[in-house]
Amino acid sequence: MRIATWNINSVAARLPRLLDWLGSAEPDVVCLQEIKCSAEAFPVDEVGELGYEVAAHGTGRWNGVAVLSKAGLADVRRGLLDEPGYQAEGAMFEASEPRAVAATCGGVRVWSVYVPNGREVGHAHYDYKLRWLEALTATAAEELAGGGPFAVLGDFNIAPEDGDVWDIAEFADSTHVTEPERSALEALRGTGLSDVYPRALKYDVPFTYWDYRAGAFPKNKGMRIDLVYGDRQFASAVTDAYVDREARKGKGPSDHAPVVVDLALD
């Protein structure tokens, strides 16, 4: 089984590239993030022509996640256990955001997650990010109690180690590398998950994200923030894992590249 995760950065803007990639990479399951459309507007017919069923969780132009599967799609769940919302500046109430969706595909339970960015240390969005990660950890613990194989895949907006960013000195006092964020990842791993680390095909570190500005991609000034965390059954079945840098090239790409994991399951 081939499972991938990809922050597509607008499925509408990237649909031709997505369809081409699905046809060439031939993943059985794809976890998408930042689809930026409602569930009703997701291009179900287009991906369906390639054999995929869809579980989408989106409400409009921001955020949004989906699971695409050619291996079956069962027990769909939208949202985390006790998932917090975010109260934007000027808003009267917290609003829930579509950032997590789960499904069982060919016997593998997957969550597609889009962790809040955090914006800057001390911002209300940073606190929201940490609370959201607590809810993710509680949800993962609940799922793990049901047995595996199980994995959480997506854009975590956190680089687990200093070496997962192109120059840690450039990130002083920035989000994505702070101790509270990394401690939240450690708590998630503590539920019984491990980091499925992609092999480096061209560079020493398999970055997954590069800013659109200042030639970051050709200069390889990137970050590894798109992660795959699997339980023991999932991790032990991995035969290969890599970042598909080719999908980041060309005209109009997402600023993220897909992470692809191959599994040999009984």
pLDDT in tens, 36-82: 999 999 999 999 999 999 999 999 888 999 999 999 999 999 999 99
One-letter amino acid for residue 155 of the chain: D
Spatial separation of the C-alpha atoms in residues 59 and 100, rounded to whole Å:
12
Q: How confident is the model at residue 201 (pLDDT cuts 50, 70, 90)?
A: confident
Given a cut of 80, is residue 203 above it in pLDDT?
yes
Q: Which residues of 46-83 are buried (b: 16+ CB within 10 A; e: fewer)?
A: bbeeeebbbbbbbeeeebbbbbbbbbebeeebbbbbeb
Given a cut of 90, is residue 214 above it in pLDDT?
yes
Strands in 259-263's sheet, in edge-to-edge order, are 53-57, 65-69, 29-33, 2-7, 259-263, 238-243
Q: Quick one: pLDDT at residue 27?
A: 98
Say what the pTM is: 0.97
Spatial separation of the C-alpha atoms in residues 105 and 149, rounded to whole Å:
10
pLDDT in tens, 123-164: 999 999 999 999 999 999 999 998 889 999 999 999 999 999
The arithmetic mean of pLDDT across residues 225-230, rounded, is 98
Contacts of 202 (CB under 8 A, 6+ apart): 245
Q: How confident is the model at residue 95 (pLDDT cuts 50, 70, 90)?
A: confident
Lowest mean pLDDT, pick from 35-39, 198-202, 238-242: 198-202
Q: How confident is the model at residue 6 (pLDDT cuts 50, 70, 90)?
A: very high
Could you report how far apart the first and last alpha carbons of the chain are, in Å?
A: 10
Spatial separation of the C-alpha atoms in residues 118 and 122, rounded to whole Å:
9
The structural domains of the chain, ordered by start, are 2-263 (3.60.10.10)
Facing residues of 78 across strands? 101
Q: Report yes or no: 176 and 120 within 8 Å, Cβ to Cβ.
A: no
Q: How confident is the model at residue 103 (pLDDT cuts 50, 70, 90)?
A: very high
Q: How many CB atoms lie within 10 A of CB 41?
A: 16
